[in-house]
């Protein structure tokens, strides 16, 4: 099962210290040795981002920083484990003294109910994913 593990911040955050970078590096190595790490990125603060809101009359773009954001994602991992319980054990090992992490299960094509109506759409979804991964490893 794959999970998205997101680091959340209450407000704009600063760059990591070199200690934090070193500790995260060690943690990421453990994740990789265990075959759990499938991806991960740090995100720049919202000042480098934007929010797009859709309506019937079109899309509205507001540049960051986000003044109204209650919580921001600071970064995330994609982890693959046998169960939610196992991913939570890995999350507890993240070298944080404080903060919050949200864990969400990634929907796989196989998770969806396959019936006469959805089969074709699901096959197409699987096909583009297989193709996407071919592009990635090229």
Tell me which residues in 93-112 interact with another protein (CB under 8 A): 94, 96-107, 111-112
Positions 21 through 40 that interact with another protein (CB under 8 A): 21-22, 24-25, 28-29, 32, 37-40
- Give 97's contacts (C-beta < 8 A, 6+ positions apart): none
* CA 85 to mean position of chain CA atoms: 18
- Give the nearest distance from C-beta 76 to another protein in angstroms: 8
User: For tokens 């265990």, what's the residue?
Assistant: 34
What gap in Å lies between CA 123 and CA 86, rounded to an integer?
30
71 binds another protein (CB under 8 A): yes
Q: Number of residues interacting with another protein: please give it, by CB under 8 A.
A: 71
What is residue 81's three-state secondary structure? Answer: coil
CA angle at residue 121 from 119 to 126, to 5 degrees? 90
Residue choice 53, 67, 82, 110 for contact with another protein (CB under 8 A): 53
- Give the nearest distance from C-beta 102 to another protein in angstroms: 5
- Give the nearest distance from C-beta 45 to another protein in angstroms: 9
């Amino acid at each position: 099962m794959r999970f998205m593990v997101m680091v959340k911040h209450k407000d704009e955050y600063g760059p990591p210290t070199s200690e934090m970078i070193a500790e995260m590096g060690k943690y990421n190595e453990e994740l990789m040795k265990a075959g759990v790490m499938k991806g991960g990125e740090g995100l720049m603060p919202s000042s480098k981002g934007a929010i797009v809101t859709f309506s019937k009359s079109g899309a509205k773009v507001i540049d960051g920083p986000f003044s109204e954001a209650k919580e921001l994602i600071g970064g995330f991992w994609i982890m693959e484990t046998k169960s939610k319980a196992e991913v939570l054990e890995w999350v507890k090992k993240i070298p944080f003294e404080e903060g919050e992490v949200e864990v969400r299960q990634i929907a796989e094509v196989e998770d969806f109910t396959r019936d006469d109506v959805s089969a074709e759409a699901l096959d197409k979804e699987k096909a583009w994913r297989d193709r996407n991964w071919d592009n990635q490893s090229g």
